A and B are shown apart, each in its own frame.
Chain A
Amino acid sequence: MTTPETLTPIAADVVVPSSLTTPRAGGFAGWRHLALVTESVPATVGLAIVLAWALLALLAPLIAPYAPNASDLAALARPTPSRAHWLGSDHLGRDLLSRILWGARPVLVIAPLAVLGAAALGSLLGLTAGYYGRWIGLVITRACDIVLSFPVIILYMIILAHFGSSAWNIIGVLTLTKAPIIARIVRGMTLDLREREYVAAAKMRGESSLYIMLVEILPNARGPLIVDMCLRTGYNVIIIGVLGFLGIGLPPPDPDWGGMVKDTYGMMMVWPHMALVPCAAISSLVVGFNLLAVGLRELGLRD
């Protein structure tokens, strides 16, 4: 995206959408991007879903009708949805709605944090590999290839079963396994961008390599990165759910969507709602992130 400031000398016959040229009242740049997102239907729907979940997670302590780990013994006999428990309760008589709301919090913190970690580490590796080339580049790309060739789910099982599972360990393994993919993308773009005039100009000015990589090259590689980060966040939500389902996710008893399915899917024949509710929650959140990514890519191609 080019910013309006650089667009000022506009040829008379070029029609620029007004949303790009006239700054909105308040002058906050974010609104302009938001207005752009609403031009794509998938992006709007995706963003709405993600924001709705973020809001619910944020307000969980206020709006959740029960404490997430509190058992209602009266609900044990009839755990199906009722007036007291809108979505029903689980096998221990805990309110499903409250657990779903509270369960949104760890997911929405861990998934983006892991993506940011992977983006930071991956960008650094990709920039270094692309900018210096030669053997540093070769070592980094080969190391990335090795990590990428490993079936990730088996890697997660080995690492998490060995070191125990906690939020930080999950962020750690997600960062380590996703960084090589980002590194590959950034390296490809760096190889192209480092030959540009403005990089040569910065070299001429005597800027350090670090400055050139971070200030001159990285900002120009952000477009594909943002779309990719959206997709990664969705995948991370899936993986956090899968880890919970396999029993190597966030430790109980605090609500974790994947773990809730693991605890109750054995009772599918009797109480299907116990597993269906968390499955619906996790699916809708991932659909939100992926629709947002599809929409953003569409918008990117249009420019």
Chain B
Amino acid sequence: MSLFDYKMSELHSLLHKKEISVSDLVSESFKRIHEVEEKVQAFLTLDEERARAKAKELDEKLATEEEFGLLFGMPIGVKDNIVTKGLRTTCASKILYNFDPIYDATVVQRLQEADAVTVGKLNMDEFAMGSSTENSGFQLTRNPWNIECVPGGSSGGSAAAVAAGEVPFALGSDTGGSIRQPAAFCGVVGLKPTYGRVSRFGLVAFASSLDQIGPITRTVEDNAYLLQVISGLDPMDSTSANVDVPDYVSALTGDIRGLKIAVPKEYLGEGVSEEVRQSVLHALKVLEGLGATWEEVSLPHSKYALATYYLLASSEASANLARFDGVRYGYRTDNAKNLIDMYKQTRSEGFGNEVKRRIMLGTFALSSGYYDAYYKKAQKVRTLIKQDFENVFEKYDVIIGPTTPTPAFKIGEKTSDPLTMYANDILTIPVNLAGVPGISIPCGLVNGLPVGLQIIGKHFDESTIYRVAHAFEQATDYHKQKPVL
């Protein structure tokens, strides 16, 4: 039994009854990290000294004050593309191997204001480009359910750390499925908020029109608490939305009677494994039993989402990653004859192959003579994909399907062919293109590996997603299953 088997509200009552202290919670985190990290390898950097000092400070506060932050005393891991002042932030890239940020991302600032305790930075695919965390420039993170399998990606460290019980909370980021897919593979709860719901200030940009930071946790309720803390308008991010943030936890009523669910036939068709299909159909039965109804619908442009995504995300990345040039921060080559040569050598030595591939694809798609045929064409198809979602949401409350076509795959299985790896994200990418929110929650176990159920909602309607996810969670016990490490 671990303290992290309790949800936050239970831990808070133990804290107030003085049965545990914040220091106990932080110790629990580091104890578990020392036990399992050799196998899991989720963390790139630990911040033990500061975390323990912060815990003492919070224990003091618990004894003397009356007002506490919403995430009081909760240990949290942060994906390594979110900047943390004075705590190395690498994006799992050699080009930022020594980068020491001079400010905190807005989400990190909000975690501090909410009295959370950052314990360290989590591994990922380099610059969030990948679906298995195998593209990390530093280490291989393993799936806690089967260490021969990938944890998913790009937020593989975040999902694995929560699944392994190293931290009860983690932040990830999701550009084409990078929170939901690893959450599915690791059997945890991961939400990609509506585009604009959470500030991107301090999130190292990959594809700015798609990136969102989001919460990864064991339970839906904890997930809602973490989203509550990080959501809302931020003057430092002009794409953060000026839309009121509701009380997410109050949406967890358990009541989904009358809920109208759309199930896209494209999400249960070709490419989706039979076991995953059966798990999702079973989940739909559970939801029916709770008073919801479901119908098959079509998102006719789904098959074009993958191509659209790779053109748009790579184009945006090629511009965003131009800043890594060895001048102001990060790695610089030792052997350059002149400035241009320094740029080229630095970038070639600093970036891994997947990052180079996408920078080149994006540069090509944006280059004169190809812009209309590739980049602009993809932007137009993005409109059609977005309209598919709008049409379905005119009649339905949520869209439900699997998060991924299969459970976690073996390490090394898909690294040789980029297109095979990309195909993993066919069910999550459309959600980013449309900008709507989506969650993955556990809904089954196939050969010892978790299956993820994806629930997609309307713009800024994370509350309904949480309500459905919570009702499902209460009616099942998939979230109570834990990997044995």
Q: Are A and B associated in one complex? A: no
A contact set with B: CB distance below 8 Å: none
User: B residues within 8 Å of A by Cβ?
Assistant: none
